[in-house]
Structure 1
Amino acid sequence: MASKQRLLRFTILVYRKPELSEDEFHSYWTTKHVPLVQDWLARHGILKYTQYHTPSSVREQAKSVPGLSQASIAEYDGFVELLMPSLSCFDEAQKDPYYQEVVVQDELKFADVPRTQILIGWEEVYVENGKVVEVQPGQANIVMG
């Protein structure tokens, strides 16, 4: 079995700007925003950047699934997950002038930024690529700096 590695997962919950339709939001987020952030994130040590699109049609469909019908389905239009070895990766990315000049300015075009929420914690992978992954005794916690 492979050794399990702890990585920090930074999840950003996103609402679209009210003046955008769902289709406009999802299209812009994928086709315009992604090309602006890919290289910047990779340059600062981000190991993975994933967008999850959660249109209302899918959220409504989920409400009819047994077992999910009792849960509260989050109303976000989507979320981003960034995977990194330490918080310093995201800290350094935000210090890059490109962040303020390009990334923040672009986010204001499609996201309802004041409503954005962030979850942060480490990822523990127990099954990967169809194989069981185990924690090794004495494994250190994630590095925060």
Structure 2
Amino acid sequence: MTGKNLLTPTSVSMILVRSLGTAQAAPPFLPRVDKDHNEVAPVQSPSSSTASSPEISYNMSTQDDKTSSGPVTILALVTRKQSLTTQEIHKYWIDKHGPLVGPFLSKMGALTYRQFHVDPATTSVPYDGIVQLELPSMETWAKLSSDPFYEEVVMPDETKFFETDKVVLVTGRNYSVVENGQFVLESK
């Protein structure tokens, strides 16, 4: 990436923390949003469609409307199901979930989907991994998260290995400073 390809939006970041306290609620991995970046009704997994869940409020708008349609990165800090070992979550996530969700995300316009697998031997954090999803816009997320494949296949698969009620979400913009060993940050 060269300097001319850098993102230049104003500061945009939100931290969305979900602490629902019940595995039965099985909320979506990320909030479904409409074209105006507002949350639409949370989708429940088929096994919990009758369960009540606490209200969750998401504001997916940006501080500067001129930047709302630019590339956005969604990070999700994830915790494994307690019934799985660290090795089991990492194996399932890369060998099963990755091939399941990768082609779908590509078809839906995702720019990148990365899985960061935490090494418990060198890192002591309460998370087992980080999802990095870069999308052209939040409109792409709205389209992707309302797709029947996402609702009927991806979300149920996530509940097999993640504690979905403990996911911590962060959205914002990436700024490159060094790429391929080269300093690329442009001053404003």
Q: Which residue of 2 aligns with 1:56?
A: 120
CA RMSD of aligned residues (A): 1.6
Equivalent in the alignment of 2:147: 96
Report the Cα distance in structure 1 between the residues aligned to 2:86 and 2:185, rounded to whole angstroms: 41
Q: Tell me how far 1:102 sits from its aligned partner.
A: 0.6
Structure 1 residue aligned with 2:102: 38
- In 2, Cα distance between equivalents of 1:32 and 1:136: 43
Larger fraction in helix: 1
Consecutive unaligned residues in structure 1, runs of 5 or more: 61-73, 138-145
User: What per-residue deviation string (whole Å, max 9, x for no partner) do you get for residues 16-48 of structure 1?
Assistant: 001111111110011000011101111122111
2:161 matched residue in structure 1: 110
1:117, distance to aligned residue in structure 2 (A) = 1.0
Q: 1:123 corresponds to which residue?
A: 174
String of CA shifts for 1:36-88, please: whole Å, max 9, x gaps: 1101111122111110111322214xxxxxxxxxxxxx310001101122111
User: Would you say the 8 A contact 2:80–2:163 is kept in 1?
Assistant: yes
Q: Which residue of 1 aligns with 2:3?
A: 2
Identity score, percent: 35
The aligned residue for residue 46 of structure 2 is none
Moved runs in structure 1, 4+ residues, more than 6 A? Answer: none
Quick one: distance in 2 between partners of 1:133 and 1:103? 36
Alignment partner, residue 19 of structure 1: 83
Shift of 1:136: 7.1
TM-score w.r.t. structure 2 length?
Answer: 0.62
- Report if the CA contact (8 A) 2:3-2:186 is conserved: no
Task: Write the distance in 2 (CA, Å) between the matches of 1:81 and 1:112.
Answer: 17
Amino acid at match of 1:35: P
CA distance in 1, matches of 2:167, 2:177: 29
